[in-house]
Chain A
Amino acid sequence: MKTFKQVYNDADNKVHGIAAAPGIVIGKVYLFTKEKLEINDSEVTNVEEAKSDLEEALKQSKKELTKVFSIAREKMDATRSAIFEAQLMILDDPVLLKSIEERIEKEKRQPEYVVFDEITKYQDIMKHSREAYINERAHDIDDIKNRIIRNLQKKRWQSRITKDTIVVSDMLTPADTLLLSRSNVKGFVTDHGGLTSHAAIISRSLNIPAVVGTHDITKHIKENDTIIVDGFHGYVLINPTKEQKEFFTSKFEHLVELQKGLEEFKDKPALTKDGREILLYANVDVSGEIDVVVTSGANGIGLYRTEQILEELSEFPTEDEQVKIYSNLSSRIYPNILTIRAFDIGGDKFRLSESTEANPFLGLRGIRLLLENPSLFRTQIRAVLKASQNRNIRFMLPMVSTIMEIKKAKAIIHECEEELKKENCSFDRHFKMGIMVEVPAAAVMTKEFSKEVDFLSIGTNDLIQYLMAVDRGNDLVSDLYQEFSPAVLRTIYHILTAAKESKKEVSFCGEMAADTLAIPLLVGLGATSLSMSPATIPYAKRIIRYLNYEHAKQLAQDCLNCTNEVEVIRLIEKFFKDHSITRTRQII
């Protein structure tokens, strides 16, 4: 039998990218491109349906705008908030809507075309005005016009995705990925994005094979082509030969058997051969994932990314809605713990100010944004507290870089606790609060910061990104995103050592924790808890149960002395070989 390497060497129909979510899948291509907003001007056969699609798209747009508005209100200046209000009013504009509806009826054209054409007419008047400020209004109107059209198109797209489709796209937003995953998509392939882009993270958590960062696959592929996606090695085969199909079908069957074999680990602890227990927690992005978590044998939820609620619901969730979501998760996972991370959103996403930020990753996001929007923050804190009655919830702050941020957040939490006491609401009186260590400044200050909190969690994705000064989503420089750089290892070692002094628990919740290559190293550096996508927990458990802690410790010490990433990786690979541990990638 050929090896993967041979198959790919021989193939002239391959495209290489980044292996973002494991698994192998064969299916038909559905091209999902949106770089340019293309307006479909075909005839509609069912006018009533077209009109109800329009109504739905208007409703959806209104929800989205209301959400943005509710998040942004406190940060918006008067001009921006007036523009938002005007956009909302446009969605109800009787004159505009009447003429759009009449034209759909008379001309029987796609609603998206009529919406485009009608609104453009007004924009043309604005553009020809002699007043500069009226010319600029035409841009403001673009936003609402494109929003309605996008929502109309989404509806059309969704209806065209069938069960066995592999979605190929230039780029997928988290909202797109979620939307598409509900339609039973079998795989994802994208031009842009790295291992830690949201599309990759969500694919992994939903267990959908994905290859990202192929640069230009959308140019080589046509709709309805058959492709093979290999999420283990990061290859895509376009219109595979008979031989290729046979090879992958047998691999696919082998994979199913392997997964069955992993199930035996489910109820066993992640114990090294010499008896050191590593707690394995699950990362949860979407609440629907809880079933996977429960069956994965996780010790609890180490990271619940609440910002995904914003992606799932189109409106900003109220306190009651949040209480419901958190309580449900808390009960399902009880008696294990649920770690809720406060909304980690960036200002870029919600256009909080008139001017967009030049460097959103260095801008208003995480705890910075929450402290600037106290009512948003308080709503979440109150909801988390109210849901904490099972006493298994803890709360975590993202993007902390100064001690003042921790102190301010603690003061707000305290105020919310006092409020709830007055309202006679019960909550966990020993409520635990922790921080993400993902900004290098926080890593350096671990000793001092850890005295202020109950636990720490190292977010390796952002930590590596900020430490190496590299945008992980930018495939031009993503090779500098080095999990195994000695600089990263030494930083992690510093955090673990400093936190040990104050006896505070440290866990890992980035993608690194799920990398089978990284696991012996992290265990050797002193990690006692790792949090990862639930689907990868059995794989991690398998590795840990083959490990000897003393050996791993020696490996870590050797790696800390390396000067570059290549040396580190070589040492780890040698470690796997010397101790006869096989990695999943090598098994299949």
Chain B
Amino acid sequence: MIEKTVKIINKAGLHTRPAATIVKLASKYKCEFYIAKDGLNINGKSIIGVMTLAAEMGSELILTFDGEDEQLACNEITDFFGRGFDEP
């Protein structure tokens, strides 16, 4: 299992478009993927779940990956966070 803390760096925060992209990225992998914030632990492959997360610029999320392809999933998804969801 891998655990990673990521920071929201784009202005608009985790809005619907990046939420959809994260779920799509996660769905490509077999491993389990969870996002923890404010006491909620949300399955990252569930769009309706990810949409309940309030994450404005500057907030931190804990990502966990568990399964055979966890390293690949972790790389791609943390990279997407790192790029600020390709947004300003």
Contact = CB atoms under 8 A, between A and B. Distances in A.
B16 A82 contact: yes
Contact of A89 (B43, B47, B53, B54): B47
Given A93-B47, A95-B46, A96-B46, A86 B52 contact: no
B28 interface: no
A93 B17 contact: no
Say whether chain B's binding surface is mostly helix, strand, loop, or mixed: mixed
Nearest to A124: B52
B6 interface: no
B86 to A, nearest CB: 13
Contacts of B20: 82, 85-86, 89
B15 A133 contact: yes
Nearest to B54: A131
Contact of A122 (B24, B49, B54): B49
Interface in A45-62: none
Contacts of B52: 122, 125-126, 129, 134, 137
Interface of A: 78-79, 82-83, 85-86, 89-90, 93-96, 119, 122, 125-126, 129-131, 133-134, 137, 140-141
Contacts of A125: 40, 52
Contact of B54 (A79, A94, A134): A134
Nearest to B49: A95
A79 B47 CA distance: 16
A93 B45 CA distance: 8
Contacts of B56: 131
B66 to A, nearest CB: 15
Contacts of B51: 86, 122, 126, 134, 137, 141
Contacts, number: 64
A469 B23 CA distance: 50
Nearest to B45: A94
A99 B39 CA distance: 21
B62 interface: no
Contact of A130 (B40, B47, B53, B54): B54
25 contacts: A79-B15, A79-B16, A79-B17, A82-B16, A85-B20, A86-B16, A86-B20, A86-B51, A89-B23, A89-B24, A90-B48, A93-B46, A93-B47, A93-B48, A95-B43, A95-B49, A96-B49, A119-B48, A122-B51, A129-B54, A131-B54, A134-B53, A134-B54, A137-B51, A141-B51
Contact of B17 (A82, A134, A137): A82
